[in-house]
Amino acid sequence: MNKHSDLERLENSLFASYWSDGLVDVVVGIGILGIGVCWTLDIVAVSAALPAILVPLWLALRTRFTEPRMGVVRFSEKRTNGTREKLGLVAGIGVGVFLLVVTGVFVSNTTIRRDVASEGLLWIIAPGIPSMLIAVALALGGWMIRQMRFVAYVLIVTGLAALGVVFAVEPHLQMTIAGIAILAIGLFHVVRFAQHYPLPDHAG
């Protein structure tokens, strides 16, 4: 029983280490920053292509950066199946959130909302809605990969959403700031991971 518990704790630790490379943070930061920039430049439709670019980029980076340092990790069948189910759930919700954010961008750029609800609650909270949707996706992502630093990302994005509501900070500015912050933190973790897990001598 103790041996099983020790193995499970070891696998939990290895699973957490496997996601501590910071690459997912970098990709998420680039994605959020990309949405903010596309929104700023009024080319929101371009942001719809970001997932198709960023997911292969993340996979390529893991292959070239993480796997040479940690190897190809094979987790237990229970862990693998559980992660696959969570990944499917988070991916589905993430796509839905992404589409909602993009839709919100288009809606916010029309005069329909202003005419219909300029005095209502929706109009007041509208600047914070896209960021809050992103915060939900970040919370789910952090839960899936068991990385507590995602709590900080949720707080950053939620704080920016609150600023958007209170001070009417435009959503594209919120996302640009959030993207830069997450990207910077991600790069910090990439550097720390590289220092903690140096390349083996034979890997050059």
Of 167, 43, 29, which Cα lies nearest the Cα of 102? 43
Tell me: pLDDT of 185 over 90. Answer: yes
Query: pLDDT band for position 3 (50/70/90)?
Result: low
Which band of pLDDT confidence, cut at 50, 70 and 90, is reported for residue 113? very low
Amino acid at 86: K
Give the model's pLDDT for residue 98.
62
- For residue range 48-83, list pLDDT tens digits in order: 788 889 889 988 998 999 989 887 766 566 655 555
**172 Cβ contact list (under 8 Å, min separation 6):** 35, 36, 37, 39, 40, 105
Region of poorest pLDDT, from 39-48, 148-157, 168-177: 39-48
Mean pLDDT calculated for residue range 23-28: 94
Which ranges of the chain would DSSP assign to H, the alpha helix? 2-18, 23-40, 50-61, 67-70, 77-108, 112-117, 121-125, 129-145, 149-167, 171-196
Query: By mean pLDDT, which of 99-108, 135-144, 173-182, 191-200 is the weakest?
Result: 99-108
Percentage of residues in the chain having pLDDT higher than 90: 36
Percent of the chain with pLDDT over 70: 68
- Residue at token pair 């997450």: 182
> Worst-scoring range by mean pLDDT, 77-81, 117-121, 157-161?
117-121
Name the token pair of 104: 């919100």
Q: Taking a C-beta distance cutoff of 8 angstroms, is the pair 5, 13 a contact?
A: no
Most confident option among 74-83, 112-121, 143-152: 143-152
Return the minimum-mean-pLDDT range out of 133-137, 182-186, 198-202. Answer: 198-202
Residue 180 carries which DSSP code?
A: H
* Contact (CB, 8 A) for 97 and 133: yes
Highest mean pLDDT (candidates 13-22, 62-71, 119-128, 184-193) = 184-193
If DSSP codes are grouped into helix, strand and coil, which group holds residue 139? helix
Q: What pLDDT, on the 0 to 100 scale, is given for residue 121?
A: 63
Cut 0.75: pTM above it: yes
Q: What would the two tokens of residue 75 be? A: 């987790």
Distance, in Å, from the CA atom of 107 to the CA atom of 94, rounded to the nearest integer, reads 20
